[in-house]
Protein backbone atom coordinates (compact mmCIF):
# COMPACT_ATOMS: atom_id res chain seq x y z
CA UNK A 1 0.00 0.00 0.00
CA UNK A 2 1.87 3.03 -1.30
CA UNK A 3 -0.41 5.65 0.28
CA UNK A 4 0.22 4.20 3.74
CA UNK A 5 3.93 4.34 3.09
CA UNK A 6 3.73 7.94 1.89
CA UNK A 7 1.94 9.12 5.02
CA UNK A 8 4.58 7.55 7.26
CA UNK A 9 7.22 9.45 5.29
CA UNK A 10 5.26 12.67 5.76
CA UNK A 11 4.79 12.11 9.49
CA UNK A 12 8.48 11.46 10.04
CA UNK A 13 9.45 14.62 8.13
CA UNK A 14 6.72 16.65 9.84
CA UNK A 15 8.09 15.70 13.25
CA UNK A 16 11.68 16.60 12.39
CA UNK A 17 12.62 20.25 12.81
CA UNK A 18 15.72 21.92 11.41
CA UNK A 19 16.93 25.43 12.14
CA UNK A 20 18.06 27.64 9.28
CA UNK A 21 21.67 27.14 10.34
CA UNK A 22 21.18 23.35 10.28
CA UNK A 23 19.73 23.63 6.77
CA UNK A 24 22.73 25.72 5.70
CA UNK A 25 25.02 23.07 7.20
CA UNK A 26 23.30 20.39 5.12
CA UNK A 27 23.64 22.67 2.09
CA UNK A 28 27.42 22.87 2.62
CA UNK A 29 27.50 19.53 0.78
CA UNK A 30 27.58 20.75 -2.83
CA UNK A 31 26.69 17.22 -4.04
CA UNK A 32 23.27 17.61 -2.46
CA UNK A 33 20.31 19.78 -3.40
CA UNK A 34 18.63 21.10 -0.25
CA UNK A 35 15.76 23.55 -0.75
CA UNK A 36 13.18 25.24 1.50
CA UNK A 37 9.63 25.71 0.19
CA UNK A 38 6.83 26.98 2.45
CA UNK A 39 8.91 26.32 5.58
CA UNK A 40 9.44 22.69 4.56
CA UNK A 41 12.93 21.36 3.89
CA UNK A 42 13.47 19.11 0.88
CA UNK A 43 16.42 17.02 -0.25
CA UNK A 44 15.94 17.02 -4.01
CA UNK A 45 19.28 15.36 -4.80
CA UNK A 46 17.65 12.15 -6.11
CA UNK A 47 15.10 14.20 -8.07
CA UNK A 48 17.49 16.46 -10.03
CA UNK A 49 17.55 14.37 -13.20
CA UNK A 50 13.75 13.92 -13.18
CA UNK A 51 12.92 17.62 -12.76
CA UNK A 52 11.04 18.78 -15.85
CA UNK A 53 12.49 22.28 -15.56
CA UNK A 54 16.02 20.87 -15.66
CA UNK A 55 18.62 20.36 -12.94
CA UNK A 56 19.89 23.95 -13.06
CA UNK A 57 16.54 25.39 -11.95
CA UNK A 58 16.89 23.43 -8.72
CA UNK A 59 20.65 23.80 -8.28
CA UNK A 60 20.48 27.61 -8.28
CA UNK A 61 18.09 27.39 -5.30
CA UNK A 62 20.36 25.03 -3.31
CA UNK A 63 20.47 26.06 0.35
CA UNK A 64 17.84 28.77 -0.15
CA UNK A 65 14.18 29.45 0.38
CA UNK A 66 12.75 28.72 -3.07
CA UNK A 67 9.10 29.41 -2.19
CA UNK A 68 8.73 32.40 -4.53
CA UNK A 69 10.50 30.68 -7.43
CA UNK A 70 8.36 27.59 -6.91
CA UNK A 71 5.10 29.57 -6.87
CA UNK A 72 5.98 31.86 -9.80
CA UNK A 73 6.64 28.89 -12.09
CA UNK A 74 3.28 27.37 -11.18
CA UNK A 75 3.61 23.70 -10.28
CA UNK A 76 0.84 21.16 -10.84
CA UNK A 77 -0.99 19.37 -8.05
CA UNK A 78 0.90 16.24 -9.18
CA UNK A 79 4.21 18.02 -8.63
CA UNK A 80 3.07 19.18 -5.20
CA UNK A 81 2.07 15.62 -4.32
CA UNK A 82 5.34 14.19 -5.65
CA UNK A 83 7.50 16.56 -3.61
CA UNK A 84 6.20 15.07 -0.35
CA UNK A 85 8.50 12.10 -0.95
CA UNK A 86 11.53 14.41 -0.77
CA UNK A 87 10.56 16.32 2.37
CA UNK A 88 13.10 15.76 5.13
CA UNK A 89 11.97 18.23 7.80
CA UNK A 90 10.09 21.37 8.71
CA UNK A 91 11.94 24.64 9.18
CA UNK A 92 12.08 25.65 12.82
CA UNK A 93 10.33 29.03 12.76
CA UNK A 94 12.36 30.21 15.76
CA UNK A 95 15.52 30.28 13.62
CATH of the domain at 75: 3.10.120.10
- Residue 94's pLDDT is 65
Average per-residue pLDDT for the chain:
87
DSSP, res 46: G
Whether 9 is in a domain gets the answer no
What is the arrangement of strands in the sheet containing 40-43, beginning at the earlier edge strand? 17-18, 87-91, 40-43, 34-37
Count structural domains, the chain: 1
Domain range enclosing 76: 17-91
Looking at the predicted structure, is the pLDDT value of residue 7 above 50?
A: no
- Residue 63's pLDDT is 95
What are the residues whose beta carbons fall under 8 Å from the beta carbon of 95, sequence distance 6 or more? 19, 20, 21, 22
DSSP, res 19: -
* Terminal C-alpha separation, the chain: 37
For residue 57, how far is the Cα from the chain centroid? 13
Whether 5 is in a domain gets the answer no
Whether 48 is in a domain gets the answer yes
Whether 10 is in a domain gets the answer no
Whether 8 is in a domain gets the answer no
Amino acid sequence: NLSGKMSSVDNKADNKMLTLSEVRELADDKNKCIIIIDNNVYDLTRFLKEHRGGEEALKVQHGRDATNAFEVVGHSSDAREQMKAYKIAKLDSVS
